[in-house]
Structure 1
Amino acid sequence: METKLKVLAVSAILVMVLLSSLSVLPLVAGATSNVEERQNRRLVVHIVRHRPHPRAQIARQFFRGASAVTIEGSVAAYHRNILVLDSNGENINVILLPIWRYGADVVNVSSLFEKGYLQVGDSVVVKALQRTVTNSNGVSIVTVVAYEIENISGGYTLYAVTPFNVRASNE
């Protein structure tokens, strides 16, 4: 009987050791998946932190295909940040940047009209960046963004305040 008890005790110990080692395997597997999850989380955080801001992406895409243009005409109308020019009988919509400078005076785009820097009927020369995009049906969208406005009627020049300087290669 003693032998049976010894065999039973040894087999019970072996079963306990075997079960305890099997119970450790899921914990080890869980630890490795946590490491992988942490690495994946780090990668996602890195991508999100270093991804360009959507506005910066749009600006970069616009600038890649833009060319410098000079438009002469008269102010036909304006609405918020859009200046409508009458140039040789054609209406040209020009996007105005949010902040402008005249000498030491820095104003937002709505103040250009409120303070009288620009008025309907003024003769102006607008220096701008222009980008034309044409779809597969031959329809084109022309975007014009002004960076300098010379008011010939008033005899002064307004400059857009931007985080960069715009210089055309022909200037």
Structure 2
Amino acid sequence: MTETGQKQTFETWLDLHKGLLFKIVRVYAFTPMDRDDLFQEILIQVWRSVPSFRHECSVTTWLYRIALNTAIRWVTRERKHTRSESLDDRHHLLLDSKVEVDELLTWLYEEISRLDEIDRSITLLLLDGFSYKEMATILGISESNVGVKINRIKKQLIVRSKTQHHHGI
């Protein structure tokens, strides 16, 4: 593949699928700076992967696999270099935001972020309508394992929603 072909493919993929990349970033990184870092890391990995794409799966499946694996590696690496959050990292929370926030969606993203890396990945894939078979392929686990994990995640989220509902959230 020529560099021009690689660039065109990369730009097309980014135009069509940046929403799914942003979604993964939002679930795995929590500060604006970390989100920028993770997004850049994912873009680098997508760029590197373009020449090795063999059309054995859909582009969406391919990008999910790359983005999720990159995010999981990034989280593991970041845990080793945990830095305390400064006030600057949280400054955006203090600003009076004019954007209306969907409280349920915010709650869901927060709950997803509390899951372990694999469960986060499964939840995102489920929300995007992937089949158990596609999820198993992306994550490298069996379809039955995907089903078991989804059932556990659903039960966990139901319990948490009832607990928080009783506390007025």
Which one has more relative contact order, counting CA pairs under 8 Å at least 6 apart?
2
Greater share of helix residues, 1 or 2? 2
- Superposed pair shares fold, TM > 0.5: no
More strand by share: 1
TM range (shorter): under 0.3
TM-score by length of 1: 0.23
